[in-house]
A and B are shown apart, each in its own frame.
Chain A
Amino acid sequence: MLSAESKKKIDREVAKYPADWKQSAVMAALRIAQDEKGWLAPETIEFVADYLGMEAIAVYEVATFYNMYNLEPVGKYKLTLCTNLPCALSGANDVAAYLKEKLGIGFNETTPDGKITLKEGECFGSCGYAPVFLINNRKMCGSLTFAEVDRILAELE
């Protein structure tokens, strides 16, 4: 169900924890599974549960508790914009409005071509670089201006 490469990555995470605590790797395993599949379908969650010897419901609890997991399909690029107070003081709400207008979508929506999903996030712990957004949970872009947003969007293929 997951690729050999993903399974290898999960094994590397499992090795970090005591032998009888394989489930400590569940957060990492879900992250790795999501990186491969784009989102966590029920069968992906079940696969992770089997792989780590956990109950599927326990894995599902984790997947629904932490908000960076995608429980439904997202676009090729998920843009999560922080709008918390320090970012808001530095113009995050203007950037949000600009993104919504430019992409023609609101938060929690995906462009019709399936390319970009826009999300609102909570503090990324990067307020000195505000406003910030995160692309696919990985790449952080900071000090966003409208011109910078244009540049970044143009680079997304």
Chain B
Amino acid sequence: MEQILLKGLDGGNWRLADYLKRDGYAALKKMFADKMTPEQVIDELKKSALRGRGGAGFPTGLKWSFMPKNYEGDKYLVCNSDEGEPGTFKDRDILYHNPHQLIEGMIIAAYAMGIKAGYNYIHGEIFEVYERFEEALEEARAAGFLGDNILGTDFSFQLHSHMGYGAYICGEETALLESIEGKKGQPRFKPPFPASFGLYGKPTTINNTETFASVPWIILNGGEKYLELGRPNNGGTKIFSVSGHVERPGNYEVPLGTPFAKLLEMAGGMRGGHKLKACIPGGSSMPVLTGDVMMDLDMDYDSIAKAGSYLGSGAVIIMDETVCMVKALQRLSYFYYEESCGQCTPCREGTGWLYRVVDRIENGMGRNEDLDLLLNMTDNIQGRTICALGDAAAMPVRSFVRNFRDEFQYHIDHKHCLVSS
């Protein structure tokens, strides 16, 4: 199975010299040697059908083409490595084990959009990863891949890393920009979108770590080849972060469209021969699916969407039959309540309300009307806030209640759990 992000990594071979041995920076050299124009680079990206790996799945080539071409003045490139969506831990491994592939991808992106400066915003809790990335940047600068006149061309690009410090909301791209500007990470109202008003008010493109890290392979091998690795409209490979009740939690890079059953098998199957009860296929904000539905799905954007959830960030949270769905939702709802930035009333008040109602059901104080109340609240939060955190809080609640309603009702009727674990 072809891998392009985690291929050949042994945990220790992250340095520039190692990366060069794996064809590192060959895409950048090829781009300059072939005198590719920025338009040609963007065309390859469009052909590849690479879709944003941070969660939204927006086509990358299209996003890049939104940047104003003849803009006089500064433009910025930003990498979103603020990976804090429960269940997701892929960017951390790219940064830690293959940092130069991200750097190379960002340089190519900067060239394609005529950008001279960029930042990589790294999740605050992974300090060791941040330190290593800083070292990798130094290596790239010393070797002439970053900085002024890259590889003797007239193209220059400065890249720095910026460390977050514990705010989930900064994974939202405009909150992340506010954060780089030295402010509270509160999302901006859109439009204007970052491509016209981004970092420091300048045109800005933001992509996820895995997205940028996929770029060198596409330039080296061609967009069509990348597309062929996956499925139509779902180009390439994707890293799935598998956590929870499997024998071998970890990151697995597979072609988009790989059957879920195969992915589960790669992760060693269910722990101790237990049964798959539920799975959140795209990070905690995405709707939960029942185990039966999940076993019939393929892991690509369109298949999962058809089943009523989303591929999101590719974080696959596996739950076996010992999990109490009320307790699981109680923990997730607390998370969104804790992480709401407080800017929009439906989210600020609604996340607390959701948590308190789920919490009382879990603690044997649920009322008969609570399930409909929860569903009603989700309708009054989702789509009514500046950013998607409101939706992210609502979707788990709605899907847990709908897919496991009997279990919630049992908790209300019997004041204790259906599952004895």
Contact = CB atoms under 8 A, between A and B. Distances in A.
Contacts of B179: 27
Contacts, number: 157
B187 to A, nearest CB: 13
Contacts of B319: 89
Given A125-B84, A129-B89, A66 B165 contact: yes
A125 B125 contact: yes
Contact of A84 (B86, B93, B162, B180): B86
B286 to A, nearest CB: 12
Please classify the interface of chain A as helix (H, G, I), strand (E, B), loop, or mixed, using the class held by over half of its residues: mixed
Contacts of B331: 83-85, 88
A127 B87 contact: yes
B327 to A, nearest CB: 8
Interface string B330-345: 0110010011010000
A35 to B, nearest CB: 10
Contacts of B86: 84-86, 122-123, 127
B271 to A, nearest CB: 10
A18 B251 CA distance: 37
A3 interface: no
Interface string A126-138: 1111100010011
Given A66-B164, A68-B165, A127 B124 contact: no
Contacts of B207: none
Contacts of A84: 86, 284, 331-332, 335
B236 to A, nearest CB: 21
B384 interface: no
B411 interface: no
Given A23-B182, A125-B88, A140 B128 contact: yes
A36 B284 CA distance: 36
A25 interface: yes
Interface in B36-69: none
Contact of A62 (B184, B241, B284): B184
B83 interface: yes
Q: Say which size band chain A's interface belongs to.
A: 35 or more
B125 A27 contact: no
A4 B118 CA distance: 29
Nearest to B179: A27
A85 to B, nearest CB: 5
A98 interface: no
A32 to B, nearest CB: 11
Contact of A127 (B168, B249, B339): B249
Contacts of B85: 123, 125
B410 interface: no
Contacts of B184: 61-62, 65
Contact of A28 (B163, B241, B339): B163
A65 B183 CA distance: 9
B126 interface: yes
Interface string B60-81: 0000000000000010000000
Given A28-B163, A65-B185, A85-B328, A125 B249 contact: no
Contact of A25 (B87, B182, B317, B318): B182
Interface in B174-192: 179-185
Contacts of B160: 16-17
Nearest to B167: A66
A23 B183 CA distance: 8
B132 to A, nearest CB: 13
B87 A126 contact: no
Interface string A54-69: 1000100110011111
Q: Determine which residue in A31, A52, A85 has the highest number of CB atoms from chain B within 10 A of its CB, and name it.
A: A85
B126 A125 contact: yes
Nearest to A66: B165
Nearest to B318: A89
A106 interface: no
Given A62-B184, A85-B86, A86-B317, A127 B335 contact: no
B244 A123 contact: no
A128 B182 contact: no
9 contacts: A21-B182, A25-B182, A54-B182, A58-B183, A68-B166, A84-B332, A85-B331, A123-B86, A125-B83
Given A125-B123, A134-B125, 14 more contacts: A16-B119, A21-B181, A24-B182, A27-B182, A61-B183, A65-B167, A66-B166, A67-B165, A67-B166, A84-B86, A85-B87, A86-B87, A123-B335, A140-B126
